[in-house]
Amino acid sequence: MEFSQRLLLKGKPLWEACLEHPFLNELGKGVLEEDKFCFYVKQDYVYLIDYIKLFALGMVKSDSLEDMQAFSKCANAIVNIEMDAHIEFAKKFGITKEELEATKPNADNLSYTKFMLQVSTEGSLAELVAALLPCMWSYAFIGKTLAKDQKALEHPLYREWILNYASEEFNNETDWCIKLMDKVAEGLPERHLQKLEEIFILSSKYEYMFWDGCYKKEGWII
């Protein structure tokens, strides 16, 4: 069994719990209050700024040119395409670029990104991938699941969000990261694999906390 399949067995129940959370449950039904989604859009914007740094660190820790190019491609896509798309999408909800840039991360957001950055800075490439993969993999899982429900696609703006993460392009990027996880985990001793599993599970739990904090609109408390 590939190591990623072992991680999937651990992560999928947590992602299913995310789908059952009121935020995604209501989004899927098209009834999520827009102010809660707007709160999420702002928090996601500042989250992505730190998430980009993980791909830059991935380039530093990679030994092969192929992996460096893949990390560079993902970082470039987020910096030069996804961030601009995020700004344009936010405008549809009346959120300005200035509001996005002024957003402070809430406690869950800040804790999550600091965890990933610390693991990625101090650890190996395998640990970095284990930390960043749950975000991509859970979003692909959520997007594809919600896209199967026609009801979820009736909301004109939530539909766009769902289809983005259900898209072939996003899922191809996720598949690359899953395969990289298997490659960098190959041949590692069980004690190291257990550490990677712990990192992966904790990042997955942070994903749930992120949705919960956005639903409750828990703001910056520092």
Q: Where residue 207 sits, what CATH number does that domain have?
A: 1.20.910.10
3-state helix, strand, coil in the chain (%, to 5): 85, 0, 15
Residues 120 and 128: their CA atoms lie apart, in Å, by 4
Q: How many helices (H) and strands (E) does the chain have?
A: 11, 0
What digits encode the pLDDT tens for the residues 26-56?
Answer: 999 999 999 999 999 999 999 999 999 999 9
Q: What is the pLDDT of residue 220?
A: 62
For residue 94, give the DSSP letter. T
User: Measured between alpha carbons, how far is 157 from 163 in angstroms, rounded to an integer?
Assistant: 10
Answer yes or no: is 220 within a domain.
Answer: no
Task: Please indicate, yes or no, if residue 50 is contained in any of the structural domains.
Answer: yes
Mean pLDDT on 174-194 = 96
221 found inside a domain: no
Residue 98 domain-assigned (yes or no): yes
34 within some domain:
yes
User: Does residue 222 lie within any of the structural domains?
Assistant: no
Catalytic residues: 135, 207
Summarize pLDDT for 79-96 with one digit per residue, the tens.
887 888 889 999 999 999
Number of domains the chain is built from: 1
pLDDT of residue 151: 81
Q: What is the pTM of this model?
A: 0.94
Q: Which domain holds residue 150?
A: 3-215
For residue 45 the two structure tokens come to: 């914007």
Residue 80 lies inside a defined structural domain of this protein = yes
User: Does any domain span residue 117?
Assistant: yes
